[in-house]
Structure 1
Amino acid sequence: MTASAHASPTERQRWRTFMWLWGSQALSVLGSGVSGFALNIYLTQTRFPHGAQRAELAAALSLTALGWTFAALLGAPLAGALADRLDRRRMMLTCDLLSALTMGAALALVTLGTPPIWGLVSFTATLGLIGAFHGSAFDTGYSALVPKTQLPRANGMMQTVWSLSGLLSPALAALLIGLPALVRSGGGPGWLGRISDGVPFAFALDGGSFLLAGLVVWRLSISTPPRADLEAGQPQPSVWADMRFGWTYIFARPPLLHLLGTFAVVNLLLSGTQVLHPLLVRFALLPNGGALGLSAQAALAALWTSFSVGGVLGGVVVSTWGGLKRRRVLGVLVPVVVAGAAQAASGAAGSLVAVCVAVAACGMMTPVMNSHSQAIWQAQVPPQMQGRVFSVRRLIAQFTSPVSTAVAGLLAARCAAGGILLWSGLLLMGLAAAQLLNPVIRRVEEPLAGRPVGAVGASD
């Protein structure tokens, strides 16, 4: 892809830099998807392979997911503040190298012995914390790098990265994990056949993707724009003041706060699927999957691949259509209602094929609601404040994700995963439909009536 023929050479160079940055990020996201899927398979088939270990498996899936989520959320405000203060290129490079070292440590853990669960939780927490800092630097970096006329295109490309990773990473992880067994059955290097499974290969691939991403960032020129609030020569505010800035901005604007509350509910009722889906496959869908000639590993890959296929389709639809130009809040709430209905259907369906269709429908709604929400925020928050405000936005919208994961693990140890999916989907449908009647959230696209931009954080 190239920039418009009418763009200045400087804009073409900036777009070319973004393309290199986007490509390296795409590889890194794919590598992380492979290692994340491999970790779940490792817990499901290697650490807790027996039906009597259902409670232990549910706890391990929940704790490893919680480690990543808590670290990412709690680190977000500090990461956003530092992204507006430090050199973003160096920040991304440092995070890539630290992530590669962390993957190396995980590779050693699973290769040299049986790692304790607390070690795996520490591993995911470290990745989540590093990812929060890298994400803040990356988001603000490409937002300032890409010409304004190309921002919608760049945002669409970033949405596509995550969906494509979800689409490709399960199949690639399944291939790597099954490689030693394939060698044992068909001949090949003896050392490879002696390895129990290919989980270490997935971790090694992810570590390599981080190193490659770091190499690309090291070769790029990514400037950090000066802070607009320091142009008049004011002293630089403290890090703590920068961390408080986003909270002050958002809480002074009730429509934005109500929009965040909606996403907090969405995450509360949807995030637990990362724990529930492996259990749904293992205890409800595996007999049906076995009839189709699928293993538990392949059935789970089919489920998650279906979600990603839906995400890719939703991304293509919203990119081609362009989204709503007005009343974009409907582009958030209506897809949430549909996603809730799809989740309820996934819990009620009794066959793997039907569940995959329902999960794909839920996945299709994700980029639609996210794209409209992102458009609202980009229009309402001045660009020079987006690093600090968006980090707090992420924290408020996603703080219920670890709660959802923990509750899903506790409920799944006692209740059927399908029933949990059914009732959570129905509850999401009702709450999102009620928000359509909320007069505050319907004003989210109007000129904000909160404190003037210059007054927000003035006391900081």
Structure 2
Amino acid sequence: MTSTPQPAPDGWRTFVWLWSSQALSVLGSAVAGFAFNIYLTVTRFPLAEQKPQLALALSATALAWGLAATLTAPLAGTWTDRHDRRTIMLAADLLGALLTFGILGLLLLPAAPLWTLVLVSGLMGLVGTFHGSAFDASYTTLVPRDRLPRANGMMQTIWSLAGLVGPAVAALLIGVPALLRKSDALPGWLSGLQNGVPFAYAVDGLSFVLAAVVLSRLHVPSPQEVTDRSQPRSFKEDMAFGWKFIGSRKPLLALLLTFAVANLCGSGLGVLEPLIVKFGLAADWQSRGSTLTAALATLTITQSVGGVLGGILISVWGGLKTQRVLGVLLPMIVSGLALAAFGFSSTVLWASAALFVLGLTYPAMNAHSQSIWQSQVPPAMQGRVFSVRRLIAQFTSPLSTALAGLLAARYAGGSVAIVAGLLLAGVTAAQLFNPVIRRVEDGPKVGTAAAQEGGSGG
């Protein structure tokens, strides 16, 4: 039997420090991610006839990250449930810093080989999934159950805030060399820089280091079952446990498959958005005397404003106390319609409005989903179960990224977004009438005998 220990008395304070430290890394990665898109669209493949190469580069790097993060999730989850979770997060932060500085070095080359960028992107995805597994499994050892929706909302807010602050900071850093050239203040050793993309990666690398320093001063407990070696478990059995747990709970599986469809439809947005801005909205931002960087930043920031507001709302409100599945499905329908509206847009203003609504929906659906899972899975099992959950829900993300790149190379990016959005809205609306998924919270809660390891899920 697996016990369900109460969070430490100072657990909430520790979580706030942990949340704050990891927020630094999230913000730094948002700066680097936006700068990388600018590097590909403006520096590496600036010509209109290079659209196929640009689509390939955007999709290949995103696909490498997504495949590595998704396919290694069961391994990361099993590792999380067998080792100290604080140590895993600390190692991941340090490795993230090392890889980020590695990308910085590649971007200083005249033309870094695309395969090296793809490789490092895959390694970043691998490190990220280990960190995410340990972090997600640490909530219930720190946060009282009644505060879980608030904690989830806080994390959703940070992800959205990163999208808001990241592009602004990245755009500022990218423009530094040009600004210094105008004032003849550019140091000689920086004279070869076309833009400040490497500066963005320097900020990201430092954010990983700072997050690791703060984490090194915190005590993040792992359940006794994780660190106890008196009853050794087979690694193979641990790898299979998450599948058995979820497979015996059809409502949870139905919820996961719904997210799989959502990721199939929506994960390609990272590839489509730069292409839509560069080709579909070019007439609008060019007529206003704007630039591609400014237009892309406007859309990213607007979507993030919606995400921040949605995150603040769910953090203050705390979300639905019953029928939380409605807090997942209804926002998901709206997000599909917003994605289709983005595809229909012909101006930056309308595209921004659609992405604002899209961003507004994410915190609600993710926070409600996370709260459902945290209430159903005991802490000592969360690494294994949540990793399989991540794999099932996100296995379509790499496929979505690849399809977006292939389709956008042949068709208008807006048309791809329209079809994806309408498909998402239709499938999710049908799930409102699915009696299985509506029973997702009827199962045993954390702490009951049926939820213990060795019970129906074991």
Same fold (TM over 0.5): yes
Per-residue displacement from partner, 1:48-97 (whole Å, max 9, x unpaired)? 10000000000000000001111111121111111111122221111111
Contact 2:451 2:457 in 1 (8 A): no
> SS of the residue aligned with 2:322?
coil
Whether 1:363 aligns to 2:359 is: yes
Measured in 2, the distance between the counterparts of 1:287 and 1:185 equals 29
Name the % identity: 55
The secondary structure found in structure 2 opposite 1:444 is coil
Structure 2, gaps ≥5 residues long: 1-5
Correspondence for 1:21: 18
Task: Choose from 351, 376, 379 the match for 1:380.
Answer: 376
Matching residue of 1:203: 201
Matched ranges for 1:28-177 at <5 A: 28-177=25-174
Query: TM-score of the superposition, structure 2-length normalised?
Result: 0.93
- Runs (4 or more) in structure 1 with deviation over 6 Å come to 228-231, 457-460
**Do structure 1's residue 317 and structure 2's residue 318 form an aligned pair?**
no
- Number of residues of Structure 1 aligned to a counterpart in Structure 2: 449
**Residues 140, 374 of structure 2: 8 Å contact kept:** no
CA 374–459 in structure 1, closer or farther in 2 if over 3 Å, else same: closer
TM-score, normalised to structure 1, is 0.93
Q: Secondary structure at the match of 1:21?
A: helix
The one-letter amino acid paired with 2:87 is R
Render the CA deviation track for 1:146-204: whole Å, top value 9, x for unaligned: 34444333222111110110110011111111110111123323334542111111111
2:3 aligned residue: none
Q: Deviations for 1:127-159, whole angstroms, at most 9, x for unmatched residues? A: 110011111122223431234444333222111
Q: Name the structure 2 match of 1:216.
A: 214
Q: 1:141 to 1:447 in 2, by over 3 A?
A: closer
C-alpha deviation, 1:372, in angstroms:
1.5
Task: Confirm or deny: 8 A CA contact 1:253 1:448 kept in the other structure.
Answer: no
Contact 1:92 1:134 in 2 (8 A): yes
Q: Distance in 2 between matches of 1:275 and 1:427?
A: 18
What secondary structure, in the 3-state scheme, does the structure 2 residue paired with 1:413 have?
Answer: helix
The Cα shift of 1:10 comes to 6.1
1:107 deviates by: 1.2
SS in 1 for 2:64: helix
Q: Distance in 1 between matches of 2:60 and 2:435?
A: 39
Offset of 1:454 from its aligned partner? 4.5
Aligned-residue offset at 1:438: 1.1
Q: Distance in 2 between matches of 1:212 and 1:30?
A: 12
Q: Structure 1 residues 93 and 321 mapped into 2: Cα distance closer, same or farther (>3 Å)?
A: closer
Q: Is the 8 A contact 2:154 2:315 kept in 1?
A: no
**Counterparts of 1:327 and 1:445, CA distance in 2:** 7
Aligned-pair RMSD on alpha carbons?
Answer: 2.2
Q: Is the 8 A contact 2:39 2:197 kept in 1?
A: yes
In structure 2, the residue corresponding to 1:112 is in which secondary structure? Answer: coil
Match of 1:403 in 2: 399
Cα distance 1:199–1:362, how it changes in 2: closer, same or farther (>3 A)?
Answer: same
The 1-side partners of 2:278 and 2:368 are apart by: 36
Are the counterparts in 2 of residues 38 and 173 from structure 1 also a CA contact under 8 Å? Answer: yes
In the alignment, which of 341, 362, 365 is matched to residue 345 of structure 1?
Answer: 341
* 8 Å contact from structure 1 (residues 341, 425) kept in 2: yes
Unpaired stretches in structure 1, ≥5 consecutive residues: 1-7
1:457 positional shift: 7.9
Once residues 226 and 455 of structure 2 are traced to their aligned partners in structure 1, the CA distance between those partners, rounded to angstroms, is 13
1:289 aligns with 2:285: yes
Q: Does 1:447 align with 2:446?
A: no
Distance 1:253 1:96 in 2: 34
Which of 236, 239, 247 in structure 2 is aligned with 1:240? 236
Q: Does 1:326 align with 2:322?
A: yes
CA displacement at 1:28 relative to structure 2: 0.4
* Greater RCO (Cα-Cα under 8 Å, separation 6 or more): 2
